[in-house]
Amino acid sequence: MPYTNERRIAELAIHRASILTERVYNSQVKGTITKGDKSPVTIADLGAQALIISSITHAFPEDSIVGEEDSSHLRADRPKLDLVWGLVQDSLEATKDQTSELGDIRDDEEMLAAIDKGNHQGGSVGRIWALDPIDGTLGFLRGAQYAICLGLMVDGKVQVGALACPNLPVDPGAPGGKEGILLSAVRGQGATMKPLSTPFAQGAPISMSSVTDFSKARFCEGVEKGHSSHSEQASIAKSLGITAPAIQMDSQAKYASISRGVGEIYLRLPVSLSYEEKIWDHVAGSLIVEEAGGVVTDTYGNELDFGQGRTLKTNKGIVAALRALHPAVLKAVQEELKGFKL
């Protein structure tokens, strides 16, 4: 089957990174830095990016990588660099049985170089991985949902996607139970899920819910009001006859959630006309939802065009829904946004 090895390496790489992010999540020291756009990045984002990029480079040395972060802050801050290098070494040690498949990192210089290999500009030619080492950094800092997200685009089209959601329950029916899931998909081969604690296990196929009655449907949205318009999303839900309150969570855990039947719709309506969605915020999640029986478009009803560079330049917002519900959801979105100058 095509992309079997890419899927396996993607799953193992994000699992390896999750050992580091969970260690930081459970510790007091997050080492938060505020980036130029005022958003936060932590030592966990940087360590996870290093581990994943070095794993991908080991397995597929010819491939390019678009990663969210860069090493500039670490190069200017020796104590933070030492902290990240220590965490990376611990995670390499914890996964040393995977060194032949995922490779090693010899020293802190090699770690910094791995982080910076994510500086590719993207585009519609060749094999390009898109990586979000921690999606939902604000959720991560709040002790809520976050996701480690990795996908492979070939000539601008997503072919492989993998998501680790360390804080989603393994059994959605038992929210207090064991946490941590690993989802993946290959285009045309379906989506699967397994506990994050068993990355070598065979994943179980997942599919979206079969609820087609809006009065029983649920929609997901982000927590951050600055990232999507809650008021417009509420008004759309009302116009569709949705009565259940919105399921709010940070990160691509929303895509993970609807792809395994918890919620039927994910809306991300733009709050500003100028913001361009980043490809790493959608590559993995959108493929997993499509392979689980959903449709993902922007608010114009257009496919997401991942071949435009590091951002989804030609798209605005996200409308993800169960295939049978998508046309009605899109119509309601477009009605609501009429005055917004789409």
Ligand X SMILES: Nc1ncnc2c1ncn2[C@@H]1O[C@H](COP(=O)(O)O)[C@@H](OP(=O)(O)O)[C@H]1O
Q: Which two tokens stand for residue 117?
A: 């290999």
Rounded-to-integer distance, Cα 278 and Cα 282, Å:
7
**Could you say which of 108, 135, 221, 298 contacts Mg ion (CB under 5 A)?**
135
Phi, psi of 170 (to 5 degrees): -60, -40
**Could you say which of 22, 250, 264, 281 contacts Mg ion (CB under 5 A)?**
281
Catalytic residue, from 45, 70, 108, 250: name it. 45
Catalytic residue, from 21, 57, 95, 137: name it. 137
- Is residue 264 at the binding interface for ligand X, with CB under 6 A as the rule? no
Catalytic site includes residue 45: yes
**Could you say which of 4, 5, 27, 39 contacts ligand X (CB under 6 A)?**
39
Interaction partner, residue 222 (Mg ion, ligand X, none; CB < 5-8 Å by kind): ligand X
Q: Which two tokens stand for residue 181?
A: 């899931």
Q: Which two tokens stand for residue 127?
A: 């094999």
Asked if residues 124 and 155 have their Cβ atoms less than 8 Å apart, the reply is yes
Rounded-to-integer distance, Cα 18 and Cα 197, Å:
10
Rounded-to-integer distance, Cα 110 and Cα 99, Å:
16
Residue 278 CB, nearest approach to ligand X (Å): 5
Catalytic site includes residue 297: no
Nearer to Mg ion, 22 or 132 (CB): 132
Q: Tokens 């946490």 correspond to what residue?
A: 179
Binding mask 65-84 for ligand X (x = CB under 6 A): ---x----------------
213 is in an annotated binding site: no
281 is in an annotated binding site: yes
Residue 25 CB, nearest approach to ligand X (Å): 14
Of 64-72, 82-90, 183-191, 285-293: span binding Mg ion (CB under 5 A): 64-72
Which residues 6+ apart lie within 8 Å of 329 measured at CB?
236, 240, 265, 267, 319, 321
Rounded to 5°, the CA angle 285-111-180 comes to: 35
134 is in an annotated binding site: yes
Beta-bridge mates of residue 320: 266, 296
Q: Tokens 């560079």 correspond to what residue?
A: 309
- Is residue 226 at the binding interface for ligand X, with CB under 6 A as the rule? yes
List residues forming the annotated binding site for Mg(2+). 68, 132, 134-135, 281
Catalytic residue ranges? 45, 137
Binding site for ligand X (CB under 6 A): 39, 68, 132, 134-137, 139, 222, 224, 226-227, 250-251, 271, 275, 278, 281
